[in-house]
Amino acid sequence: MDLNTARMKTLSLILAGGRGSRLKQLTDNRSKPAVPIAGKYKIIDFPLSNCINSGMRKIAVLTQYRSHTLNQHVQRGWNFLRSDFNEFIELWPAQQQTGSDWYRGTADAVYQNLKMINESKSEYVLILAGDHVYKQDYSIMLKEHIESGADVSVACIEVPVNEADQFGIMHVDESDNIIAFEEKPSNPPTMPGNPNVSLASMGIYLFNAKFLQSHLQVDAESLTSSHDFGKDLIPYFVGSSKIKAHHFSRSSIPNENYPDRAYWRDVGTLAAYWESNMDLTKLVPELDLYDEGWPIRTAQYQRPAAKFNYNYEERIGTALNSVVSAGCIVSGSTVEQSILFNNVRVNSYSHVKKSVILPGCDIGRHCRLDRVIVDTDTKIPEGIVIGEDAALDAERFYRSSDGIVLVTQEMINALL
């Protein structure tokens, strides 16, 4: 089978039903894949763009937790495929198709949609997480999968061995056959020939469709399984099936300024989310959003260009080492090493530093913000100072152990 035919026979399933509780109040009213990132995108735009750029045009987004904003985003921004060419991006909400339970785990989410999977007449099923930020050509992984004759391939990324206890770690032989799997091991196995590096699962799986169907049925009937790919199915396959490790470095989209680094981020904590956004304010970010050969798509709305007002001695509209998105107004204030999402206003005499300001926010006059994340549509009252007094911040807002302060409109309302 040639690669183009294999792409057409591949169904991509993006698991986008998770709450992402470690992002705290950012996911009170939205699922983690719907969280805004990088100025104008949502997290789910990355796996969706990877699919389109890889030539994978049969895509289903599996949703569950507070999915309204995610559904709206996908419907408005990702409805350009041609159904008459058997291309689609569909939303598959949890429907209790196999019983009275909602999705009980990642494997169960796929199992509950087996009817639709079978109707797609696909020979391969690509399972993706909807909450990671990265650029990957899945067709390269598909090609390796077919050539190796594997039942399942697992995308893996190299991590320092001293950080391996945070991941599911694969033990591979010299031919990249997975011979053991350990979830967050205290004594992780290392890669052959490199004792300083372990191979971590990225939560990306490529299955032969018939193989997947038969094993999901067995897993669904198990009373001891947690119905999760990483915890249950992948360890079960080791030793009983042909399971291969696919190195992310072979299919990641390279940044010419960082040729030796494969960019992948799980933005599952406030600190990781903040750091991922802050990287984009650097002179040369590790994540290249300017690559016309691998565009990241999103829902586009008609907005005016960003605007900077005033040029007086103490009242200059300025943004330094920052990302300022469409619709923003920086009015007589200073924005430094920060990222302003769409339709943000920063009013006179304020100073915003090392902060992530989500869409629709309004920062009042004489405010100072340092290492702050401000949630969507929040209005910061005049004169508020955040990020300078840790004890006071913890009383009024959510302050992480890393010193990142999260502010929502509900928190502001409680102060008034």
As a whole number, mean pLDDT of residues 189-207 equals 92
Residue 210 counted as an annotated binding residue? no
- Give the phi and the psi of residue 144 in degrees, each rounded to 5: -65, -40
Decide if pLDDT at 89 tops 90.
yes
In contact, 63 and 99? CB cutoff 8 Å: no
Residue 65 marked ligand-binding: no
pLDDT at residue 202 is higher than 90: yes
Residue 42 is labelled as binding a ligand: no
* Minimum mean pLDDT range among 16-20, 23-27, 51-55, 136-140: 16-20
Other CB atoms within 10 A of residue 265 CB? 18
Bridge partners for 208 per DSSP: 124
* Residue (of 42, 258, 79, 229) closest to 154 by Cα position: 229
pLDDT recorded at residue 99 = 56
**pLDDT (average), residues 135-144:** 98
Burial-class residue 304 by CB neighbours within 10 Å (0-12, 13-18, 19+).
exposed
Average of pLDDT values for 215-222?
Answer: 90
The predicted model scores a pTM of: 0.95
Asked if 407 and 372 count as a contact pair (C-beta separation under 8 A), the reply is yes
**Domains of the chain by start residue, with CATH:** 3-279 (3.90.550.10), 307-415 (2.160.10.10)
CA distance 49 to 416: 42
Rg (CA), the chain: 23
Q: 54-58, 107-111, 276-280 — which is least confidently predicted?
A: 107-111
Question: pLDDT tens-digit profile of 250-291?
Answer: 999 999 999 888 999 999 899 999 999 999 999 999 999 999
**pLDDT category of residue 189 using cuts at 50, 70 and 90:** confident
CA-based torsion, 397, 321, 131, 95: positive or negative: positive
Average pLDDT, the chain: 94
The yes-or-no verdict on residue 21 having pLDDT over 90 is no
- CB within 8 A of 175, min separation 6: which ones? none
pLDDT at 85: 87
